[in-house]
Structure 1
Amino acid sequence: MKTYNPLLYVLLLMAIMSCNDKNNALEVTIFETSANGNKLKEIEPAVKAENASSIKILPEEEFQTITGFGGSFTESSAYLLNQVSKENRDKVIEAYFGESGAKYSLTRTHMNSCDFSLGHYSYAPVADDMDLEHFSIQEDKDDIIPMIKDAMAVSQDGFKIISSPWTAPIWMKDNKEWEGGKLLSKYNDTWALFFSKYIDAYKEEGIDIWGFTVENEPLGNDNNWESMLFSPEEMTNFVQNHLGPKLEADNHDVKILGYDQNREVLDKWVDVMYRDEASSKYFSGVAVHWYASTFDYFPEALQYAHNKAPNKHIIQSEACVDAEVPKWNDDKWYWSKEATDWGYTWAPDDQKHLHPKYAPVNRYARDIIGCLNNWVDGWVDWNMVLDTQGGPNWAENWCVAPVIVDPAKDEVYFTPIYYTLSHFSKYIRPEAKRIGIEVSDKELMATAAKNVDGSIAVVIFNEGPEEKFINLALEGREVSIKIDGQAIQTVLIGATQS
């Protein structure tokens, strides 16, 4: 007769439970950037805690296809990289485009000059050159083009480029000025030809242009720097009857993005752009900026644009925060609510709530997650590199870039904004599908995407000062995570990256 051994029974039961726990455990790799000093630091999962928040990933719910994330090639950024040592130039290029860096996949540059240029210039300086026989991108060959080529050399997967004009040559405009004014209708076809020649000129340099925005900030910028005004009707007419047909006739397979300014009036633009099949034919989507508020990401406006044209792009094409010299190299400032939005001082009373004192990192993390969760498929930052004042900028419009350089000292500083952007660009890759996610804690923001290799990236932002414990679940498997206060994490499932 066999004897029952209680101790052996308990040990067997514990072994079975341990085996089941392992089978149900979700294997993840976690990277964190936080106010306490972590910068894309790999951290271990946590011990399961009571009263933890929950995040559930829903891969069966699929939304938009991701185009990419990145920043902008400006003359200012490229000029500065020409001023530092080759070692530091290579370091910055690798940090943005290399496998060890942020792996930027979507970028932007300017056609003709902008405020982040060293001065005014146009590729077509000769007045009434209707056939643009004197068109030349020579101005870009000392700085922007070499920077793009260096980026191409280290980018394993490549990246897309969106090009944007701030203004047509002044001889095409009614006011004959760099700032403000409108395109004269007699130059519609010449201005359309300008875009086509730009594509050809860059292709001769070995650089493909993926897309255009028709005009940077068509509502203007109070005539502070290069600009040209369009109404929704005027831009739609130009694209429908001039730009679209010209690019098609010249066999240019390129995206055309309309609007390209702040989100709060996006509905008025898409109503005109997409009013019928003829008006929407040549538009691939819309581009938007965040300057109406770096706090409110205007989800209703983004949803409206998506519902109006579900198969077209919504791309955030520009964002930055204003510089506060000499705080450019103070990590704590980037996590501090003492940093001000430029609208903080001048916004009218009914708009002050849109421009609070708000930490720069919070603005980026909150906006990118909010955009992704409301159908935006690409998110592009402004200057990749600026100096310690926030320039060079001929209009003295000082801003912050994710990477700051001091050419005089040959120093490079990677701000917390750089690492915040990397949480998205490095781990959510082009052609990924945003997927469903349920978050129990209203103090957390999160988004999730499934990459083409099957891996899933979950980005979580904890704005508050207290650490939080999270139970992250996917299809019956679970892992416990601890996220620091004032921190952003990327949790990778099904892939290991460093």
Structure 2
Amino acid sequence: MKRFAPLLLAPLLAACATLGAPSPPAGQAWLTTADETAKLAPQPALRPLGPAIGDEDIRLDPARRFQPVHGFGAAMTDASAELLSRLPEAKRRALMAELFGRANGGLGLSFMRLTVGASDFSRTHYSFDDSDTPDPTLSKFTIDHARQYMLPRTREALAINPRLLVMISPWSAPAWMKTSRSLIKGHLDPAAYAPFAAYLARTVEAFGREGVPVSMLTIQNEPDFEPADYPGMRVDPAERAAIVGGFVGPAFAKAGIRTKILDYDHNWDKPQLPLGTLADPAARRTIAGVAWHCYAGDVDAQSKVHDAWPDKESWFTECSGGNWSPKFGEVLGWMTDKLVIGATNNWSRGSLLWNLALDPAHGPHKGGCGDCRGVVTIDPASGAVTRNVEYYVLGHASRFVLPGAVHIAADRRGGDVEATAFVNRDGSRVAIVHRTKGSGAVSFAVDGRRYQFDLPPGAVATLRWPG
């Protein structure tokens, strides 16, 4: 037998060992640019450039784990549900699969908000107990309005994505429960605290029987605001504490309802309001967390409440785009920074935009916002669907951050890029980044390896590495 010379054998063995060693994993990237030339567009594979050397712009650290994250989504308002329902069946099914599924590049939305009664994005103002006289036994309670469009479309979404998390919020208690005796303005009459708690319990139970399990609720949308032309109700912190701690919590416990109760459901500018509710011991025992909106203040308010009560969850539950901010690039950057990156970095477990769908006239609605924009726009005359900037903001997170993910550290070396990061249950790492200024390559340290990605000015990217 012919033998290899010793000097030739050693390098051959080394080469074989190198060939047998696993290669460092390549990452994937998707890009949306401020000038709209790329929208969730897949990019070339991210090949490792060698070992991380410590000067990377962003370093992912899966060992430093924070809150679990369920996902991202929008509200199935009456307006959204009606527009989706009126599409031709094949077109509706395709759009719903695109919004709630992940096959073929679907968004995979996994978080949804429903209204208890009417919001401004309803054709009429109503509650689930529109009695002309006090009805403390709720004899006239009905969810027929929700059965028309909202619940069927929510069931359809749940069939596509069974991990969809549903929360609910009333814009007003029934008029007969209020000091104003109207769905417009007013406080909840203390004599109606018990019927109101029963009203919420009945709603959760009724939705559940319709195939829509309710995971969370707030007792009032925007309780520090009394709108003049659509349902609303002021519920101050002491009132919320009394209602939740003394009535809603006990009513849910008696009925065996495990739906979580969140406080506040209002803007970042007044963290003292949820802190006021949480200062009450009975309410605090019942409240699972705090819900936030974007229309005033800044996202770091979420951390102020978390730092005071770290056992309470944080959820971001409403923000809308609209004609007041029409530029794609500006909305892309602001929403990504505040509602995806900022909300997550300030303890949010999920983020919701407002209307999932609106028509070209910003409706249907009655009162309230006359120039809001949906995640998609549906033209009821033609059936045309327009995917708005909000669609891409959500998609950069919802398509890649799966229910059960955990927020992990994404340490930044400079101030030109905002970032957040996650690890999914399958071990894959996901980073979402926005270039706030400058241009050029952004470097990443992931699992001891260096990667680089070119991020244009104002652009948003999602990067994913396998587990």
- TM-score of the pair, normalised by structure 2: 0.90
Q: Work out whether 1:425 is the aligned partner of 2:398.
A: yes
Provide the rounded CA distance (Å) in 1 between the counterparts of 2:183 and 2:315: 26
1:154 to 147, 160, 181: 160
Q: Work out whether 1:386 is the aligned partner of 2:391.
A: no
Contact persistence 1:63–1:435 (CA under 8 A): yes
Q: Work out whether 1:89 is the aligned partner of 2:92.
A: yes
Q: Work out whether 1:55 is the aligned partner of 2:58.
A: yes
Which amino acid in structure 2 is aligned with residue 493 of structure 1?
Answer: W
1:279 to 283, 302, 314: 283
Quote the residue 2:112 is aligned against.
107
Q: Work out whether 1:334 is the aligned partner of 2:328.
A: yes
Q: How does 1:64-143 map to 2 (within 5 A)?
A: 64-100=67-103, 101-126=106-131, 127-143=133-149
Q: How does 1:315-334 map to 2 (within 5 A)?
A: 315-323=315-323, 333-334=327-328
Quote the residue 2:449 is aligned against.
477
Contact persistence 1:323–1:390 (CA under 8 A): no
Q: How does 1:150-229 map to 2 (within 5 A)?
A: 150-155=156-161, 157-229=162-234
Contact persistence 2:418–2:433 (CA under 8 A): yes
| Deviation of 1:53 (Å) | 5.4
- TM-score of the pair, normalised by structure 1: 0.85
* Greater mean deviation of Cα atoms: 457-466 or 246-255: 457-466
Q: Work out whether 1:455 is the aligned partner of 2:428.
A: yes
| Deviation of 1:206 (Å) | 1.4
Provide the rounded CA distance (Å) in 2 between the counterparts of 1:106 and 1:46: 30
Contact persistence 2:125–2:230 (CA under 8 A): no
Provide the rounded CA distance (Å) in 2 between the counterparts of 1:227 and 1:72: 17
Provide the rounded CA distance (Å) in 2 between the counterparts of 1:396 and 1:424: 29
Which amino acid in structure 2 is aligned with residue 305 of structure 1?
Answer: V
Provide the rounded CA distance (Å) in 2 between the counterparts of 1:53 and 1:453: 25
Which amino acid in structure 1 is aligned with residue 277 of structure 2?
Answer: M
Contact persistence 1:274–1:308 (CA under 8 A): no
Residues 32/19 of structure 1: CA separation in 2 closer, same or farther (3 Å cut): farther
Contact persistence 2:249–2:286 (CA under 8 A): yes
Could you report, residue by residue, the CA deviation over 1:235-264 in whole angstroms, capped at 9, with x for unpaired residues? 011000001000110000110000110012
Provide the rounded CA distance (Å) in 2 between the counterparts of 1:110 and 1:71: 12
Q: How does 1:347-362 map to 2 (within 5 A)?
A: 359-362=330-333
Provide the rounded CA distance (Å) in 1 between the counterparts of 2:217 and 2:33: 35
Q: How does 1:225-374 map to 2 (within 5 A)?
A: 225-266=230-271, 268-275=272-279, 277-293=281-297, 296-297=298-299, 299=300, 301-323=301-323, 333-335=327-329, 359-367=330-338, 368-374=340-346
Provide the rounded CA distance (Å) in 1 between the counterparts of 2:465 and 2:163: 24
Contact persistence 2:246–2:282 (CA under 8 A): no
Q: How does 1:389-408 map to 2 (within 5 A)?
A: 389-395=361-367, 397=369, 398-408=371-381
Provide the rounded CA distance (Å) in 2 between the counterparts of 1:276 and 1:395: 35
Residues 80/324 of structure 1: CA separation in 2 closer, same or farther (3 Å cut): farther
Residues 24/224 of structure 1: CA separation in 2 closer, same or farther (3 Å cut): farther
| Deviation of 1:396 (Å) | 5.4
Q: What SS does the corresponding residue of 1:91 show, helix, strand or coil?
A: helix
| Deviation of 1:152 (Å) | 1.5
Provide the rounded CA distance (Å) in 2 between the counterparts of 1:128 and 1:89: 41
Could you report, residue by residue, the CA deviation over 1:158-188 in whole angstroms, capped at 9, with x for unpaired residues? 2111100000111111111222100111111
Could you report, residue by residue, the CA deviation over 1:291-347 in whole angstroms, capped at 9, with x for unpaired residues? 005xx42x1x2112111221221111100122369x6xxxxx312xxxxxxxxxxxx
Which amino acid in structure 2 is aligned with residue 334 of structure 1?
Answer: F
Q: Which structure 2 segments of 5+ residues have no match?
A: 1-6
Q: What SS does the corresponding residue of 1:116 show, helix, strand or coil?
A: coil
Contact persistence 1:109–1:161 (CA under 8 A): yes
Provide the rounded CA distance (Å) in 2 between the counterparts of 1:198 and 1:462: 44
Q: What SS does the corresponding residue of 1:457 show, helix, strand or coil?
A: strand
Contact persistence 1:270–1:308 (CA under 8 A): no
Contact persistence 1:28–1:494 (CA under 8 A): yes
| Deviation of 1:272 (Å) | 2.4
Contact persistence 1:60–1:435 (CA under 8 A): yes
Q: Which structure 1 segments of 5+ residues have no match?
A: 328-332, 336-358
Provide the rounded CA distance (Å) in 1 between the counterparts of 2:121 and 2:94: 22
Aligned-residue Cα RMSD (Å) equals 2.8
Provide the rounded CA distance (Å) in 1 between the counterparts of 2:379 and 2:261: 37
Q: What SS does the corresponding residue of 1:38 show, helix, strand or coil?
A: coil
* Greater mean deviation of Cα atoms: 312-321 or 468-477: 468-477
Identity %, equivalent residues:
27
How many residues align structurally?
Answer: 454
Which amino acid in structure 2 is aligned with residue 273 of structure 1?
Answer: T
Q: What SS does the corresponding residue of 1:93 show, helix, strand or coil?
A: helix
